[in-house]
């Protein structure tokens, strides 16, 4: 079953906690959205064929956030998932953290406008992407992005 307004969060398994927190933040702000995180048991249930679920979500997603750190930037699965988004022509947003800077992104990631997730203004920009892409018309000006950024920085 394909979900409309699907956001795909690409991440290395070592960053599952951050991916799940980002999903929680998105759903706090946009409860009507669908967010796929392969490390989340709500995205892939016991007994599911995980590769089929990932493939289905890659096919149907309309926005992709790619979590990139110095540890994950060269992982082939991250490149594969990002390439699917790129080929589909959807909004693919590199999300840098844990010491990786936007200016240090290698090709092809450096061709995409990205953010540092640990900064509150970056979270606001990410939420604007979702708001605009899906025409949610959620008022974002009253949201405390500083608190969300703190939660993200607290993950180590």
Instruction: Report how far residue 11's alpha carbon sits from residue 24's, in angstroms, rounded to the nearest whole number.
Output: 15
Question: If DSSP codes are grouped into helix, strand and coil, which group holds residue 37?
Answer: coil
Q: List, in order of start, the domains of the chain with CATH numbers.
A: 6-153 (3.40.50.10140)
Tally of CB atoms within 10 A around 87? 9
Give the max Cα distance, the chain. 41
- Strands of 91-96's sheet, edge to edge? 34-36, 6-10, 63-68, 91-96, 115-116
Per-residue pLDDT of the chain (156 residues; tens, 9 = 90+): 346 789 999 999 989 999 999 999 999 999 999 998 888 767 666 777 777 887 887 889 999 999 999 999 999 999 999 999 999 999 999 999 998 999 999 988 999 999 998 777 999 999 999 999 999 999 999 999 999 999 998 985
């Amino acid at each position: 079953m394909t979900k409309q307004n699907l956001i795909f969060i690409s991440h290395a398994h070592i960053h599952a906690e951050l991916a799940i927190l980002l999903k929680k933040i998105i759903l706090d702000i946009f409860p009507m959205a669908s967010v796929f995180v392969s490390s989340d048991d709500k995205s892939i249930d016991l007994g599911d064929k995980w590769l089929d679920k990932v493939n289905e979500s890659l096919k149907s997603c309309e926005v992709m956030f790619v979590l990139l750190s110095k540890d994950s930037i060269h992982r082939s699965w991250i490149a594969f998932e990002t390439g699917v988004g790129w080929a589909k022509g959807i909004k693919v947003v590199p999300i840098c953290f844990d010491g990786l800077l936007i200016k240090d992104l290698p090709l092809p990631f450096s061709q995409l406008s990205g953010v540092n997730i640990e900064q509150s203004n970056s979270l606001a920009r990410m939420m604007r992407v979702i708001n605009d892409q899906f025409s949610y018309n959620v008022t974002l000006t009253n949201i405390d992005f500083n608190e969300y950024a703190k939660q993200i920085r607290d993950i180590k």
